[in-house]
Amino acid sequence: MNQALRRGALIVFEGCDRAGKTTQCHKLVEVLKREGHRVELMKFPDRSTTIGQMISQYLQKKVELEDHVIHLLFAANRWEAVKKMENLLLNGTTLVVDRYSFSGIAFSAAKPHMDFEWLKQPEVGLLQPDLVLFLELSSDVASKRGEFGQERYEQPQFQRSVRQIFRKLQDKSWQVINADGTPEEVHQDIYEKVKRSIELVSFQQLKKFDK
């Protein structure tokens, strides 16, 4: 088969805060690169853009924003990356993404008075991941991972609600990863699944979130 026709895979990591997503994203990218894959790491929120800076100020509690407004900003922060993502994927680069639309929906839906169906709408038309790796920590291990940080949402009760909503979002592209093990053990589990996905989707069309 012609190597040039292969597209990259859109691999998304999701989970509650401190589940080890960022460590695993870096490890995966490093290993895939070493094997000669074309791969790029992305992260949402992307705090480097103008919209990303507003989000960062909100997360650091430097500004207050109405709940629907911050929800739309998080989604807009993904929309501003969509062309770049599409081009990279079509050119054969696999994208490893630290958080995506599911965090967008789950964190907003954990707030009071937010309509679940409304929250999903700004994501319609964004690229649909080929594989979602949901890192799940048992509450025992989570409580041993030390204190939460100082940013907005980093409280145990809120995180418990987020976790329940994540479960509602799970579909057939999700793989739940037990994140209790050592970084190496967790990586091995992820690595196998990612390799399969890269192979499987390389001749498939890119998909988008629909209504």
58/201 with CB nearer ligand NYM = 58
Residue 98's DSSP bridge partners are 13, 43
Closest approach of ligand NYM to the CB of residue 127, in Å: 14
From residue 25 to residue 44, what is the string marking binding to ligand NYM with x (rule CB under 6 A)?
Answer: -------------------x
Using CB under 6 A as the binding rule, whether residue 191 contacts ligand NYM is answered as no
List of E strands, the chain? 10-15, 39-43, 94-98, 131-136, 174-178
**Which listed range, 2-10, 100-108, 122-130, 137-145, lies at the site for ligand NYM (CB under 6 A)?**
100-108
Give yes or no for a contact between 111 and 52, defined as CB atoms under 8 angstroms apart. no
Using CB under 6 A as the binding rule, whether residue 17 contacts ligand NYM is answered as yes
SS3 for 95? strand
Which of 74, 134, 166, 174 forms a contact with ligand NYM (CB under 6 A)? 74
Using CB under 6 A as the binding rule, whether residue 107 contacts ligand NYM is answered as yes
Helix and strand counts by DSSP (H, E) for the chain: 9, 5
Using CB under 6 A as the binding rule, whether residue 13 contacts ligand NYM is answered as no
Using CB under 6 A as the binding rule, whether residue 104 contacts ligand NYM is answered as yes
CA distance 109 to 134: 18
SS3 for 127? strand
Q: Using only C-alpha atoms, what is the Rg of the chain?
A: 17
Using CB under 6 A as the binding rule, whether residue 58 contacts ligand NYM is answered as no
The amino acid that residue 40 corresponds to is E
Using CB under 6 A as the binding rule, whether residue 18 contacts ligand NYM is answered as no
Phi-psi region for residue 146, left (φ > 0), alpha (ψ -120 to 50) or beta?
A: left
44/134 with CB nearer ligand NYM = 44
The amino acid that residue 43 corresponds to is K
Using CB under 6 A as the binding rule, whether residue 6 contacts ligand NYM is answered as no
Closest approach of ligand NYM to the CB of residue 196, in Å: 26
Instruction: Please give the residue ranges that form the binding site for ligand NYM (CB under 6 A).
Output: 17, 44-45, 59, 74, 99, 103-104, 107, 153
